[in-house]
Structure 1
Amino acid sequence: MFQLGKTIVSEDIIEKEFVCNLSACKGACCIEGDAGAPLEENEAKILDDIYSKVKPFLRPEGIKAIEQQGTWIKSDFGELETPLINDAECAYVIFDKKGTALCAIEEAYNKGIVDWKKPVSCHLYPVRVKDFSEFASVNYHKWEICDDACTLGKELQVPIYKFVKEALIRKFGQHWYAELEKVAEKNN
């Protein structure tokens, strides 16, 4: 672990490789697990604001889940997250013709309908950020459903921090990312 500003960062972020391999995993991270995508407080408001624009991209099951539960929910632990369909996939999940899970929010963004890409936690994956009162921890979330992404990352020699560069900059800013790059260069 090392400190960058008000973050404590796991070395795994700079030492391990990762490149999403959607053709292999079919977007399993959006349909597996026991909780929705973590949300920041401002993101809950964004979901409320853009729902009517994203709704045409959603599956009927997603619309039903959102209209029953809300555009976001509060977990038993008091954390904000996206709602789920029948305690399974994220309510915002859609599928392409090959059965790969995609994000309806990101589809609306790609078509210029909304100006918000998706929750930053989704954009950052496999990096997970946990906010504490004085700092945030930045960790690699190892999950066996992403083994193909680790294999592809090794093959292409892409460290996690480079794979999620845009998302890290979105979350922490350009200066923070430049400092991360300096740490990574020293470790090579």
Structure 2
Amino acid sequence: MFQLGKTIVSEDVIHKDFVCNLSACKGACCIDGDAGAPLEKEETKILEEIYPKVKPFLRQEGIDVIESQGTWVTSDFGELETPLINNADCAYVIFDENKTALCAIEEAYNQGVIDWKKPVSCHLYPIRVRDYAEFSAVNYHKWEICDDACSLGKELQVPVYKFVKQALIRKFGEDWYAELEKVAETNLKK
């Protein structure tokens, strides 16, 4: 672990390799697990505002869940997250012709309907950020469904922090990312 400003960063972020391999995993991270995508407080307001524009991109099952539970929910642990369809798929998941899970929010963004890409936790994955009173912990999340992404990242020699560069800049800013690059370069020379 090392400190960057008010963040504590796992060294796995610079040492592990990762490139999403949707052709292999079919977007399993959006349909597996026992919780929705983690949300920041301000993102709940964004989801409420953009829902009418995202709705045409959604599957009926997603619309039904969102309209009964809301555009976001609070977990039993008090955490904000996206709602789930039958405790599995994120309510915002759609599928392409190859049955690969995609994000309806991101699809609306890609088509220029909205100007918000998706929740930052999704954009950051496989990095998970946990906020504490004095700092934020930035960790690499290892999940076996992403083994193909790890293999592809290793083959292409793309460390996690480079794969999620835009998301890290979105979350922490350009200056923070520049400092991370310096730490990575120094660390990888050792």
Category of TM-score, reference length = shorter chain: over 0.9
Percent of pairs with identical residues: 80
One-letter code aligned to 1:54: V
- The within-5 A match list for 1:132-171 is 132-171=132-171
> Is 1:57 aligned to residue 57 of structure 2?
yes
Q: Which amino acid aligns with 1:56?
A: P
Shift of 1:178: 0.1
Quote the offset at 1:24 in angstroms. Answer: 0.1
| TM-score with structure 1 setting the length | 1.00
1:88-99 alignment to 2 at 5 Å?
A: 88-99=88-99
**Whole-angstrom distance in 2 between the partners of 1:7 and 1:160:** 17
| Aligned equivalents of 2:84, 2:170: Cα separation in 1 | 25
Instruction: Identify unmatched segments of 5+ residues in structure 2.
Output: none
| Residue in 2 that maps onto 1:131 | 131
Match of 2:137, SS state, is: strand
Q: Which residue of 2 aligns with 1:22?
A: 22
Number of the residue aligned with 1:11: 11
* Equivalent residue runs for 1:64-103 within 5 Å: 64-103=64-103
Shift of 1:77: 0.7
Which stretches of structure 1, 4 residues or longer, exceed 6 Å deviation after superposition? none
Q: CA deviation at 1:72?
A: 0.1
Post-superposition shift, 1:133?
A: 0.6
Question: Structure 1, residues 166-186: CA drift from partner, whole Å, max 9, x if none?
Answer: 000000000000000000000
Q: Which amino acid aligns with 1:46?
A: I
Match of 2:38 in 1: 38
Pairs aligned (count)? 188
Runs of 5+ consecutive residues of structure 1 not aligned to the other structure: none
Q: 1: CA distance between counterparts of 2:75 and 2:66?
A: 15
TM-score, length basis structure 2: 0.99
